[in-house]
Amino acid sequence: MVVARCLDLSIASHGENEAEALASLGDSIKDYVEYALKQGSLDNVIDPAEDEFWDIYKKKEIRASFRPV
């Protein structure tokens, strides 16, 4: 089980592998934004995750940028 999370919208989804989790997350984001548009509340869509999750993301991005040569 893999969980994918959109940190800008605080939406999460899951799948059996990374590809499925990301596809499911994409569908969830699409549905969320479409619903917000229908409700006229697109301005309220952005709901950033807690700093703890952003810190984890930033650390992983830094590690990924320092690949051994």
Q: CA 50, CA 64: separation in Å to the nearest integer?
A: 22
Number of structural domains the chain divides into: 1
Q: Domain of 15? A: 2-65
Model confidence at 10, pLDDT cuts 50, 70, 90, reads confident
pLDDT at 26 (0 to 100): 97
pLDDT in tens, 35-48: 999 988 877 777 77
Residue 23 CA to residue 45 CA, distance in Å, equals 20
Q: How confident is the model at residue 1 (pLDDT cuts 50, 70, 90)?
A: very high
**pLDDT recorded at residue 17:** 97
Judged by average pLDDT, the poorest of 3-7, 46-50, 53-57 is 46-50
